[in-house]
Structure 1
Amino acid sequence: MAGDTLQVDLVVDFVCPWCWLGHRNWQKAREMMPEVATETIFRPHELDPSIPPQGLPYKAYMEAKFSGTNRERWQQMREHLETAAPAAGIEFRFSEIEHRPSTVNAHRLMRWARGQDNDAAETIADKLFSAHFKELKDIGDPEVLIGIGVEAGLDRAILTDLFSTDRDAAAVRDEAMFFARLGVNGVPTYIFNGKFAVPGAVAPETLVEAAQEALADGD
């Protein structure tokens, strides 16, 4: 496999806890195959496109979304995520989250980072997850996002100017719809070399197997 570059489109939403876990699993998978050059491209997905730009109160939103029999399902998922988090080096503070943001602005920031520097995009992705789930910040707020971008090496003045407009908001939603039409209806989803997809926050070993299969298929 040496010498090949593996492109992985990683479709995520930054308020999706499985996506943070999935991102960390992909990081571990890459560490397990150091001989493989990889390019990770973060692609947008909105778990709920109906969220208004200013966001909604988190607890009321989640109670409405997971009411009745769904409440037990969410509790089970939450317990699983909180159990898996330490091994992945992450932390979920579900009970303390107060705001459910729209993620369009977060995806806009990722889109701009993608065009600048892949390392910056990788850093920003992790910072976005951490900001929402661990630091309890509003990742729909341009000021929060500008701060994240600057920490990753992006230019504050450029980001301030970009966020003063709605630039690329439509492009983000068009891109999300493109992947939805390809059949991506849940996140995270990993698309290897544009050929086949692996859905869900699967184990790093499973991702290594998928990567090897994708590279072998290209020979």
Structure 2
Amino acid sequence: MSTTLKIDFVSDISCPWCAIGLQSLLRAAESVRDEVTLDLQFHPYELNPQLGPGGHDVAEHLMQKYGMDAAQLAQNQAAIRDRGAELGVTFNMAGRRAYNTFDAHRLLAWAREQGAALQLALKQALFVAYFTDGENLADQDTLVRLAEAVGLDGEVAREIVAGDRYADIVRNEEAFYQQQGITAVPAVIINEQYLISGGQPVEVFANALQQIARGDAG
């Protein structure tokens, strides 16, 4: 008999390790599907909440923020591309810009109310649009198109991104997880008790899911 585990996945759409972590978690869940079922929900975290409409150049930002030189940046990006390729995630790094993701998080909050499957589909579509296709996730037309593509109501999506619905929900959730000590993403919280941080390998997630489902976790 399968055990259902509640998964609160705290992440940002502009975080490559969040895309890697999600795909790794989903593969892990598939590998232990006879024992574990996920009740998966996504929650917001903004890496760059101060960004304006134009965003900023990712390479310049990372080099400035972490003191990287060009060689270190290239090594870091190669590691991300390699990990992504193992999981079927394509990262196109050249010329990528980071954009404000607040509106995307508001859409995800709405999508959660429409059902877990739709929220997951939108989350994955946002990752592909940003990391693979290089799209601007601060652009309202782009967000509406992606929502429609996964089966959400485009008219409602446009009303949401054009207004301020779900803004308080996003801000309150961000504040809640910050108060819980979440300072980096992805943060994968299982049954509101166990935290797995970062884009861990499939085996790490699979082992954790099994142990928690069996009651063996320390």
SS at match of 2:7: strand
Uncovered stretches (5+) of structure 1, i.e. residues with no partner: none
CA separation in 1, counterparts of 2:176 and 2:27? 28
Mapping for residues 31-50 of structure 1, pairs under 5 Å: 31-35=30-34, 36-50=36-50
Mapped contact 2:105–2:170 kept (Cα < 8 A): yes
- What percentage of residue pairs aligned between the two structures are identical? 27
| TM-score of the pair, normalised by structure 1 | 0.91
Shift of 1:218: 9.1
Contact 2:10 2:187 in 1 (8 A): yes
Question: What is the rounded CA distance, in whole Å, between the counterparts of 1:55 and 1:108 in structure 2?
Answer: 19
For structure 2, the residue ranges without an aligned partner over 5 or more in a row are none
Alpha-carbon deviations, 1:150-187, whole Å to 9, x = none?
A: 11111111112222211112321221121111111111
The whole-number CA distance in structure 2 between the counterparts of 1:73 and 1:10 is 29
CA contact under 8 A between 2:23 and 2:87: conserved in structure 1? yes
State whether structure 2 residue 181 is matched by structure 1 residue 172. no
* 8 Å CA contact retained: 1:4, 1:37: yes
| Counterpart in the other structure of 1:117 | 115
Q: Name the counterpart of 1:102.
A: 100
Spell out the pairing of 1:1-150 with structure 2 (5 A cutoff): 2-35=1-34, 36-52=36-52, 54-59=53-58, 62-67=59-64, 69-71=67-69, 72-97=71-96, 99-150=97-148
Say how many residue pairs are matched: 214
Secondary structure, in 3 states, of the residue corresponding to 1:95? coil
Distance across 1 between alignment mates of 2:61 and 2:115: 39
Counterpart amino acid of residue 137 in structure 2 = I
Question: 1: distance between equivalents of 2:210 and 2:88?
Answer: 25
8 Å contact from structure 2 (residues 51, 100) kept in 1 = yes
With normalisation by structure 2, the TM-score equals 0.91
**1:73 Cα deviation from its structure 2 partner:** 4.2
- The answer to whether the 8 A contact 1:195-1:214 is kept is no
- Structure 1 distance, partners of 2:60, 2:99, is 16
- Are 1:198 and 2:196 counterparts? yes
Residues 132-159 of structure 1: per-residue CA shift (max 9 Å, x gap): 1111111111111111111111111111
CA RMSD of superposed structures (Å):
1.9
Give the Cα–Cα distance (whole angstroms) in 2 for the partners of residues 29 and 93 of structure 1: 25
Structure 2 counterparts to residues 152-191 of structure 1, below 5 A: 152-191=150-189
Query: 3-state DSSP class of the match of 2:24?
Result: helix
Residues 57 and 95 of structure 2 are in contact (CA less than 8 Å); yes or no, is this contact kept in structure 1? Answer: no
Deviations 1:183-210 (A, max 9, x none): 1111111100101100010011111121
